[in-house]
């Protein structure tokens, strides 16, 4: 199955 990633896995909070 596939997991929906979060944007915060790729982009960091600034």
Partner 1 sequence: MLELRLVQGSLLKKVLEAIKELVTDANFDCSATGFSLQAMDSSHVALVALLLRSEGFEHYRCDRNLSMGMNLNNVSKMLRCAGNDDIITLKADDGSDTVTFMFESPNQDKIADFEMKLMDIDSEHLGIPEAEYHAIVKMPSAEFARICKDLSSIGDTVVISVTKEGVKFSTRGDIGNANIVCRQNTTVDKPEEATIIEMQEPVSLTFALRYMNSFTKATPLSNTVTISLSSELPVVVEYKVADMGYIRFYLAPKIED
CA atoms within 13 A on the CB side of 6: 4
Near partner 1 in 1-14, by CB under 8 A: 1-14
CB of 1 to partner 1, least distance (A): 6
CB of 9 to partner 1, least distance (A): 7
C-alpha 5/C-alpha 9 separation (Å) is: 7
CB of 5 to partner 1, least distance (A): 4
C-alpha 4/C-alpha 1 separation (Å) is: 10
The residues of the shown chain that bind partner 1, judged by CB under 8 A, are 1-14
């Amino acid at each position: 199955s596939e997991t929906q990633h979060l944007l915060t896995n790729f982009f960091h909070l600034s």
